[in-house]
Amino acid sequence: ETGVTQTPRHLVMGMTNKKSLKCEQHLGHNAMYWYKQSAKKPLELMFVYNFKEQTENNSVPSRFSPECPNSSHLFLHLHTLQPEDSALYLCASSQDYPSQETQYFGPGTRLLVL
Amino acid sequence: SQQGEEDPQALSIQEGENATMNCSYKTSINNLQWYRQNSGRGLVHLILIRSNEREKHSGRLRVTLDTSKKSSSLLITASRAADTASYFCATDGNQGGKLIFGQGTELSVKP
């Protein structure tokens, strides 16, 4: 257990559906991250939040909408996704941002878009 | 450009053997980290080595860093079947605090 939980662990959705991924960290960290991991590709940083404020958006399509109501919770709202969005979505946290220190990852949500 | 690149992409060894994975990067760094990922799971931090350190140990793990060659290696001694996983290096580089991950090395340890 890393102190970062994610739900659901698996999600299958159609291209017209709306769903949300949830992440919660119990480490007292101030920064939280969303990453996308596709097969045979390096982890791609999507969003960074620091003290609930979005500090990074790596040119992510608007069909992905993050929300950070407090430093412990992070959501990724999904709507009208494409099949190529199928991937493992990982949440992580760190003490602060910017930070070169350790990031703690959740177990991920395996997303399949049909 | 991709910061961390691991070599080899895949490695298969017998239990009890040592496994060595390498990571090369392109820009100056403050530190370099190694993470492990079991299939379909999240990443787990293994070890962090700072730019002014040359070698670091943690249990059966040994990490070296050569900043002149912009490379690092991860050695797992006396490997076990439970070490089967993907291993990633991550660097901060000149990315304003972002960690940049390589594509990873898939290690398979056969009993």
**pLDDT reported for residue A81:** 94
Report yes or no: B59 and B46 within 8 Å, Cβ to Cβ: no
Please report which confidence band the pLDDT of residue B89 belongs to, taking 50, 70 and 90 as the band edges.
very high
Put simply, the answer to whether A98 touches B96 (Cβ < 8 Å) is yes
* Lowest-pLDDT choice from A22-31, A38-47, A68-77: A38-47
Pairing mode, if any, of strands B105-110 and B10-14?
parallel
Instruction: Say yes or no: B96 contacts chain A, CB-CB below 8 A.
Output: yes
| Among chain A residues, CA nearest to B94 | A100
Q: Which of residues 53-82 of B touch A (CB under 8 A)?
A: none
Which of A8-47 are b and which e, b meaning 16 or more Cβ less than 10 Å from the residue's Cβ? eeebebeeeeebebbbbbeeebbbbbbbbbeeeebbebbb
Residues of A in contact with B100 (CB under 8 A): 42
pLDDT above 90 as % of chain B? 74
Q: What's the burial of A53, exposed, middle or buried (CB within 10 Å: 0-12/13-18/19+)?
A: exposed
A102 pLDDT above the threshold of 70: yes
Q: Among A100, A101, A110, which would you mutate to test the B interface (most chain B Cβ atoms within 10 Å of its Cβ)?
A: A100
Distance CA A91, CA A74 (A): 8
A74-96 mean pLDDT: 95
Residues of A in contact with B41 (CB under 8 A): 107-108
The single-letter DSSP state of residue B63 is E
Q: Which of residues 44-63 of A touch B (CB under 8 A)?
A: 45, 48, 56
Please report which confidence band the pLDDT of residue B95 belongs to, taking 50, 70 and 90 as the band edges.
low
* Lowest-pLDDT choice from A20-34, A36-50, B65-79: A36-50
A41-55 mean pLDDT: 89
What mean pLDDT is reported for chain A?
Answer: 93
Paired with B10 in beta bridges are B106
E-strand spans in chain A?
Answer: 4-7, 10-13, 18-25, 31-37, 44-50, 53-57, 64-70, 73-79, 87-94, 104-105, 109-113
Residues of A in contact with B34 (CB under 8 A): none
Distance CA B81, CA B104 (A): 18
pLDDT above 90 as % of chain A? 77
* Lowest-pLDDT choice from A109-113, B15-19, B37-41, B61-65: B37-41
Residues of A in contact with B104 (CB under 8 A): 42
The single-letter DSSP state of residue A85 is G
